[in-house]
Structure 1
Amino acid sequence: MRVLFDGEAPVAYGQIYVCTSELPDMDRAFAGQVNGLCGAGQPGALFLMTGTHTGRVRFTIELHDGEPPPAAEVWEEVVEASLPLRAGVLDLVPWGDGSLARLPLIPEGQDSGRLPVYRVRYCATGMDEGRDPFGGLDPDELDEDDDTYLDRRPDRYLLCLWPEGDTAGDPDAGGARSDVVLRETSGAAAYWHAWARALPPPPTLWEQVEAELRMRLERERRAEEYRMRDELRRWGGRLPSERLRRVQGNIQGIVLLDRDLVDAVAAADATGQRQIAIWAARHALTVAGVADLDWMRPAWTALDRGEPLPAEFADPTALWTRVLGEPAVTFSIVSLRRGGRSPAEALHTSLDAPVNPVAMALPALLAAGESDPLQAALEALWAGVATYAAQRAEFLTEVRRAFPFLGA
C-alpha cells in the first residue's frame, strides 16, 4: 500500500475531484449510481462530495495492490465504485483551482498496455458536523476576523484505489462492477444518495451513438448552410451555373456589379464570348488612348484570328513599360472599407474614384487572350468597367447594344 496524499485539502461547494484533465460534470458523474458521494460515471474522473461546504478537510488517498480489508468502524460512510482510467496518473483537484497533488497509479513512462479498471472506496466521517458552517464551534466565541474555523473542519475522508481488472489489459479477465453503498450513517450522505438515485439514467451506448450522429449531421448542415450563404454573397445573391462556377480569374467585380450581364455572357456560345472579350478590350484601350498604337496591331490581329497573343503582349509589366516608357510601380494597398457597407456598395465607391485609364485598360488585352472564352469575356468586361469608372453605365449600355443576345 502506498499513500499518494495525506493532508489538508480545500473544498468549495462541498466538492473536490480526482481526474486526468477536464473536471467531471456533476449529473453525468452520478447518473445511474446508487451512491451520491463518489461519482464515477465519466472515465478517468471522480466527483467527490464532502460535508463541509467551504474549508479545508483532512484527506487521505491510498493506492493498494489488491482489494484492502473492509473499512474500519471509524468510517461512518463507505461507498465503492469502478473507475476506468484514461491515463496512469490522476490529479487531486479542488474546485476552481489547479492540481493539488499528482496521483500516479501507474509509474509515469511505464508501458502498461491497456489501462486497467480501478475500484475505488470512498470513506467519510463527520459529514453532518461538516455541514455546520462553523464545524461545531460557537461563532460567538470567535473573533470577528477569525477564519481559522475553516481550517478546523470536523469531517475526514479516505479514498482507496486498487486495480479491479487484469493489469495485463485483458478485458475479459475482470470487468467494472456497479457502485454500492456499504455503510450509511449521516443525513448528509442520505441526502446525496437519494439525489443520485433520482437522476435520469445515463444514455445507453446506442443512444450516445445516435446523439453523436445527430450532432455530426447538424454540424454538416450548418457548414453547408454557411457555405451556401457565403457563395450567395460572392455571387450577388444568386447561385451560379456549374460552368460559371468553374471560371477562374478576376470576375467577382463584374458579378457583383451586373449579375444579369454575367449570366447572359455565360449562356452565350464560345464564339460570342470571344467576340465580347475582344470588343471589351478594344473599347477599354480606346478610352485609354492606346488601342491604335502601331505596335499594338499584332495583338489585335492575333485576337481576331483566334490565336494566342504574341509573347511581347503576354507580360503585363513589360506591356506597361512599353506603353508609358517607364517601369511599372508596385503599390501596397490596404482596404479601409467602412464597416456596415455591403461588398457591392464598396465596389461602387471604388469605381467612382479617379483612375489611371491605361492601368485599368491593359488587363483587358491580356484577358481577351485567355484560353477560356467565358473567362476572357468576363475579365475583359470587368477591365472595361474599371477603365470607364464613373461612366461605367455608358460602357454596359454599349456592350448590350453591340450584342443584342445579352438582353436589354
Structure 2
Amino acid sequence: MRVLFDGAAPVDYGQIYVTSRELPDMQAAFAGQVNGICGAGEPGALFLMTGTHYGRVRFTVELHDAEPPPAAPEWQDVVEVSLLPRGPAVGLVPWGSGPLAQLPLIPDGHDTGPLPVFRVRYCAAGMDEGRDRYGGHDPAGFVDGDHSYLDHRPDRYLLCFWPMRPADTADTAGARADAIQRQTSRSAAHWHDWAAGLAVPPALWEQVEAELRVRLARERRDEEHRQREETRRWGGRAPSERLRRVRGNVHGIALMDRDLVDGVAEVDAATQRRIAVWAARQAFTVAGIADLAWLAPAWAALDRGEPLPAEFTDLTALLTRIGGERAVSFSITALRPAGRRGTGPLGTGLGARVDPVAMALPALTAAAAPDPLQAALEAVWAAATAHTTRRAAFLAELRRVFPLVDRQEP
C-alpha cells in the first residue's frame, strides 16, 4: 500500500474532485448512482462531497495492489465506485483552484499498456459535525477575525484505489456499479436520497441511437431543402438526371419556359447542336449583327461542329469591335413590355434595360460548348433575352422549326 496524499485539503461548497482532465458536472456525476457522496458518472473523474461547507479537512489517499480489507469501524460512511482514469496520474483538485496534489496510479515505466479500471472506496467520518459552521466549537470562544476553526474541521476522509482484476471487469455493468457499504450520518443519507432522485442517464447505446436520429433528421431536412431549392431553380419541376448534370447558365431559360427545356433535353445530341447554332444566328439577327463579314469563320466553325477560333472567344473584345462598326446601329430596350410588372428574380431581371448586342453575343460562345445540351439551352436563353419583348415569338418559332421539342406538361 502507498499513501499518495495525507494532509489538509481545502473544500468549498462541500466539494472536492479527483480528475484526469476537466472537472466533473455535479448532476452528471451522480445520476444513476445509489450513493450521493462519491460521483463517478463523468469519465475519468470523481465528484466528492464533504460535510464541511468551507474550510480545510483531513484527507488521505491510498493506492493498494488489491482490494483492501473492509473499512475500519471508525469510518461512519463508506461507498464504492469504479473509475477508468484518462492518464497514469490523476489530480486531487479543490473547488476553484488548480490541483492540490498529483496522484500517480500507475508507477513510472509501467504506463505503456492499457490503463486498468480502478475500484475506489470513499470513507468519511464526522460529516454531520462538519456541517456545523464552527465544527462543534463554541463560537463564543473565538474573537473577531479568528477563523482558525476553518483549519480544524471535525470531518475527515479516506480515498482508497486498487486496480480491478480482468475477471471483475468482464461484466461491464457490474464493474461500473456503485455501492453503499455503510451509511451512518444524516449528511450522507441526505446526499444518497438526492442522488436516488436524479433521472437515470441514458445508456451509451441509447445516446448513440439518439445522436443518429438527430443526424438523420438533419440530413433529411437538408435533403428536403436541397430538393425544394433545386425545384425552384428549375422552374417548379425537378430536373431529370441528364439536366442535373448540365453546367453553365441554364436556369434562366428553365424559369422562362420549363416545358421547352424538357423538350430540348429529350432530343438527340445532333438536334441539340443544331438548335444551339440556330438560336445563336437568331440572336445575332435580332441584334442586327448577323451579316458582319468578319464573323464568317465563327459561323463556319459552328456549322462544322468545331471549336470557335480563338479571336471569337473573348466577348469583351467582340463587343468592342462590333461597337466600332459603322454599319451597326442598335438601341437600348427593355426585356419586358412597358406597363407590365415582373414578379420574382426573373421578372425583375427582364424589366431591366439592355443592349441587344450585349445580350446576343453569349449565344455565339454558348453554341460552341462541348456539351450539346448546355450549348442549346444557353444559346436559347441568350437569344430569348436578345429578343426582349419579342421573346414569345422567338420561342414559338423555335417550336415550329424543331417540332420535337414542342411538349406541354400539365
TM-score bracket for this pair, using the shorter chain length: 0.7 to 0.9
Alpha-carbon spacing, 1:189–1:144, altered in 2? closer, same or farther (3 Å) = same
CA distance in 1, matches of 2:287, 2:143: 91
1:82 alignment counterpart:
82
1:3 alignment counterpart:
4
1:180 alignment counterpart:
179
- The residue identity in structure 1 corresponding to 2:301 is A
TM-score (norm 1): 0.73
1:380 alignment counterpart:
379
2:159 alignment counterpart:
159
Q: Tell me if structure 2 keeps the 8 A contact 1:277–1:380.
A: yes
2:278 alignment counterpart:
279
Deviation for aligned residue 1:98: 6.5
Alpha-carbon spacing, 1:6–1:229, altered in 2? closer, same or farther (3 Å) = farther
1:24-35 → structure 2 map (5 Å cutoff): 24-26=24-26, 28-35=28-35
Q: Which 10-residue stretch deviates more, 17-26 or 83-92?
A: 17-26
Q: Is 1:239 equivalent to 2:235 in the alignment?
A: no
2:209 alignment counterpart:
213
Q: Tell me if structure 2 keeps the 8 A contact 1:17–1:93.
A: yes
Deviations 1:254-304 (A, max 9, x none): 445554543343344444433432233234444555433222223223333
Deviations 1:106-162 (A, max 9, x none): 368864311101121212233234445676678999999999987776544332323
The answer for unaligned runs of 5 or more in structure 1 is: 327-343
- The residue identity in structure 1 corresponding to 2:394 is E
RMSD, aligned CA: 4.3
The answer for unaligned runs of 5 or more in structure 2 is: 323-342, 401-405
Q: Which 10-residue stretch deviates more, 189-198 or 126-135?
A: 126-135
1:188-199 → structure 2 map (5 Å cutoff): 188-197=187-196
Deviation for aligned residue 1:370: 2.0
Q: Tell me if structure 2 keeps the 8 A contact 1:57–1:156.
A: no
Alpha-carbon spacing, 1:65–1:158, altered in 2? closer, same or farther (3 Å) = closer
Alpha-carbon spacing, 1:128–1:43, altered in 2? closer, same or farther (3 Å) = same
Q: Which 10-residue stretch deviates more, 234-243 or 59-68?
A: 59-68
Alpha-carbon spacing, 1:348–1:200, altered in 2? closer, same or farther (3 Å) = same
1:262 alignment counterpart:
261
Q: Is 1:295 equivalent to 2:294 in the alignment?
A: yes
Alpha-carbon spacing, 1:7–1:150, altered in 2? closer, same or farther (3 Å) = closer
Q: Is 1:403 equivalent to 2:402 in the alignment?
A: no
Alpha-carbon spacing, 1:361–1:16, altered in 2? closer, same or farther (3 Å) = farther
- The residue identity in structure 1 corresponding to 2:223 is R
Larger Rg: 2
Q: Tell me if structure 2 keeps the 8 A contact 1:313–1:366.
A: no
CA distance in 2, matches of 1:176, 1:354: 78
1:45-194 → structure 2 map (5 Å cutoff): 45-53=45-53, 55-58=54-57, 60=59, 62-66=61-65, 67-68=67-68, 70-71=70-71, 73-93=73-93, 102-106=102-106, 111-132=111-132, 155-165=155-165, 176=175, 178-194=177-193
Picking from 297, 309, 312, the partner of 1:311 is 309
SS of 1:85's partner is coil
Q: Tell me if structure 1 keeps the 8 A contact 2:4–2:104.
A: no
TM-score (norm 2): 0.72
Q: Tell me if structure 2 keeps the 8 A contact 1:84–1:116.
A: yes
- The residue identity in structure 2 corresponding to 1:282 is R
Alpha-carbon spacing, 1:277–1:173, altered in 2? closer, same or farther (3 Å) = closer
Q: Tell me if structure 1 keeps the 8 A contact 2:63–2:105.
A: no
Alpha-carbon spacing, 1:107–1:367, altered in 2? closer, same or farther (3 Å) = farther
